């Protein structure tokens, strides 16, 4: 970070992933998935490891991508895309769980789904927002809660990816910013902010 009066550097602010709503939702999804697997799946079932790993990958890749974004927009986009893909895989696991057990998947506009979406507007958003429901409701309800939150996180990640694309087109990558900063230094002027 540059101090007042000092020229801004060519590495943009980054690393605030905990403030991203997509990260907060992904972290809640991880916590819910961990507890879901402990409560409702058999120990030793390969699905347990796959679901927990997909949930972890969603959360961790948002964090890593956000941190990498300061020096590599390409890496930020790639890791955010991996997070999105991991959450999509997890979404399919929850849907499979419900489908093969002939359990209902809530409609997007069902009373229950709307309730979960409203819960997701609390700030800060943490697992505590959902704890009461995740620890006391049956498997079909918990799976549907997870599905609702994953859909919200995926929507947010899609928006982030579009924004990253626009930011890259507008401001370029690190090499372009470095070149602008070096040329501005040579010319004795401040680089244009992008």
DSSP string, 121-136: T-SS--GGGTHHHHHH
Q: What is the pTM of this model?
A: 0.82
pLDDT at residue 7, rounded to an integer: 43
Q: What is the DSSP letter of 17?
A: G
pLDDT, tens only, 97-138: 999 999 999 999 999 999 999 999 988 899 999 999 999 999
Whole-number pLDDT of residue 194: 53
Per-residue pLDDT at 3: 39
Please tell me the predicted confidence (pLDDT) of residue 32. Answer: 98
Q: Which residues contact 105 (CB under 8 A, 6 or more apart)?
A: 95, 98, 99, 144, 147
Sign of CA dihedral 155, 158, 160, 166: negative
Task: Work out the number of other CB atoms within 10 angstroms of the CB of residue 30.
Answer: 20
> So what's the pLDDT on residue 43?
87
Separation between Cα atoms, residue 138 and residue 121, nearest integer Å: 23
* DSSP for residue 41: S
Q: What is the reported pLDDT for 191? A: 56
Q: Kindly state the tokens that stand for 133.
A: 């429901």
Q: How far apart are CA 58 and CA 22, in angstroms?
A: 10
CA distance 116 to 170: 36
Q: Which residues of the chain have pLDDT under 70?
A: 1-15, 171-183, 185, 189-194
């Amino acid at each position: 970070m540059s101090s007042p009066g000092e020229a801004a550097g060519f590495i943009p602010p980054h690393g605030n992933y905990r403030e991203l709503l997509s990260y907060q939702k992904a972290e809640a999804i991880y916590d819910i998935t961990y507890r879901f697997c402990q409560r409702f799946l058999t120990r030793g079932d390969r699905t347990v490891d796959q679901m927990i790993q997909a949930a972890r990958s969603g959360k961790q890749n948002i964090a890593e991508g956000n941190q990498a974004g300061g020096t590599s927009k390409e890496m930020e986009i790639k890791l955010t895309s991996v997070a999105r893909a991991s959450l999509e895989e997890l979404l399919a696991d929850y849907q499979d769980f419900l489908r093969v057990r002939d359990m209902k998947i809530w409609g997007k506009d069902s009373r229950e789904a709307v309730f979960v979406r409203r819960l997701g507007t609390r700030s800060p958003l943490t697992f505590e927002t959902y704890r009461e429901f995740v620890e006391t409701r049956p498997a079909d309800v918990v799976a549907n809660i997870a599905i609702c939150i994953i859909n919200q996180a995926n929507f947010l990640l899609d928006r982030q990816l579009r924004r990253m694309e626009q930011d890259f087109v507008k401001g370029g990558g690190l090499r372009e910013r470095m070149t602008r900063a070096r040329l501005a230094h040579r010319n004795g002027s401040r680089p244009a902010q992008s």
